[in-house]
Amino acid sequence: MKKLIKNVNVFDGKNVKVAKHQNIAITDNLVTEIFSGDFSEEGFDEVIDGKNQYAIPGLTDAHVHLGKTHIDGASASYDAIIGSVVAGKLLDHGITTVRDAGSVTDGLKRAIDEGVVKGPRIYPSMNFLSQTCGHGDSDAAHHNRDIQYRSPRGVALCDGVAECRRAVREQFYLGASQIKIMAGGGMSSLCDPVETLQFSPEEMKAIVETAADYGTYVLAHLYTPACMQRAIKAGVRSLEHGHWIDDETARMIQDTQTFLNPCPQFTLEEIKWNHMGEYSDQPSQLKKKSKRGGADIKKHIEETTEFINKYDLKILFGTDLMIMYNEYEPRESLDFTVYKKRFGSYKGLLAATGNFNEITKLTTYQNPYPDGEIGLLQKGAYADIVITRGNPAEDLDVLGNTDNILFVMKNGEIYKNQL
């Protein structure tokens, strides 16, 4: 099947300059040519007029949790059904690929890949790894410890080098393309202050080494400089959240070319799904016990932003999407607005496109989608194409309103067309 998208302005996922008046040729699920000038429409099975709007690579979210809701009393089967609903809404919003940062998504991923339900491609981490009394531990995790390596609830408790190695291998058995660990305290868990350092250097190095043995990398939940420095020294390649960066840590991130995923955006009060119980209107165990930490983290957002921009750190776009509300509505558009305020439009868009392409390379032979480029719009890329009203490389607020998402193609298939 050959398709042509004509008359569009192309952002390729790398260069800030948009190529005007382009045409995109697609064969089956891959982009085969991007060209300008006169041409014949003969030989194409379908021609779409882009109407001089802006074509960008399919957007990515590098930190979601699609395999688990945060609804009291929900079962794993319920979580899977609701996850499929949210996945469909993400695709409608132009998110064509996600990295799941800790939940069991093998069934959802398979159903999406087979075309049974619609949704983005999923790079699965499966169960995230947590130490005992860490960010991820809970009564349920303790009760299920005998089966927790393959828990359907998203967490694998492990302590000591041997347990950590086994937990990593279990996630690869389940189908993980990378490994997620809890390397520091959190705001939603009940037993670990934000400042807590989690996993010893020996445990963390064992996790990284075992992941490398399987050809891939580790991403880590953390907030403080001490946690980030320990993770970097262990070889962790993607730092999640990281809202408390100092100058020394910023230099380490820059020197090692470690990715930073500064999510979620605590700077907007209207983002109610941001981990913190006092912001949630959903009945939850988060409300049963108050803990300090959130205010301290929010204090450091401004200076962290300054360090990210000063050292031009390589950021990813991530929302920490957790399914907490009965409308099950993704809210990534709010995060695009905040990314513009913190990092500028081009850098914010790059985080959701070309930078994600780079991190897919770290999965090497574990990459579940090896046949095309993701996050780029060029020859040889998957035909994941979003057409927007307005140029998001100049004004990322374009993506702050989902009404500006006019057209969504994933893998050569059209899922939305409002051109």
Rg for the chain, CA atoms, rounded: 21
pLDDT at 273: 38
Residue 56: both structure tokens together: 């960008």
pLDDT recorded at residue 296: 65
Structure confidence by residue, pLDDT tens digits, 219-270: 999 999 999 999 999 999 999 999 999 999 999 999 999 999 998 765 544 4
Dump pLDDT digits (tens) for 168-192.
999 999 999 999 999 998 876 777 7
Whether the per-residue pLDDT at 284 is higher than 70: the answer is no
Contact between 32 and 45 (Cβ < 8 Å): no
- Averaged pLDDT, 4-30: 97
- Cα distances (Å, whole numbers) of residue 273 to 180, 257, 331, 341: 20, 30, 9, 20
How far is 310 from 8, CA to CA, in rounded Å? Answer: 34
Q: Is the pLDDT of residue 289 over 90?
A: no
How does the average pLDDT of the chain come out, rounded? 89
Alpha-carbon distance of 112 to 115, in angstroms, equals 5
Task: Tell me the CATH architecture of domain 59-343.
Answer: Alpha-Beta Barrel (3.20)
Higher pLDDT, 43 or 289: 43
Task: Name the pLDDT band for 283 (thresholds 50, 70, 90).
Answer: very low
Q: What is the pLDDT of residues 71-112, one digit of tens each?
A: 777 888 888 899 999 999 999 999 999 999 999 999 999 999
129 in helix, strand or coil? strand
Between the alpha carbon of residue 219 and those of residues 114, 246, 326, the distances in Å are 27, 20, 29
Specify the residue for token string 């262990």: 234
The structural domains of the chain, with segments of one domain joined by +, span: 2-57+373-417, 59-343
Instruction: Compare 159 and 69 and report the one with higher pLDDT.
Output: 159
Please report the DSSP string for 184-220 in residue order: B--SS-SS--TT-B-S-HHHHHHHHHHHHHTT--EEE
The CATH number for 2-57+373-417, chosen from 3.30.1360.70, 3.30.300.30, 2.30.40.10, 3.20.10.10, is 2.30.40.10
Of 130-144, 221-235, 264-278, 315-329, which range is least confident? 264-278
| pLDDT above 70 (res 53) | yes
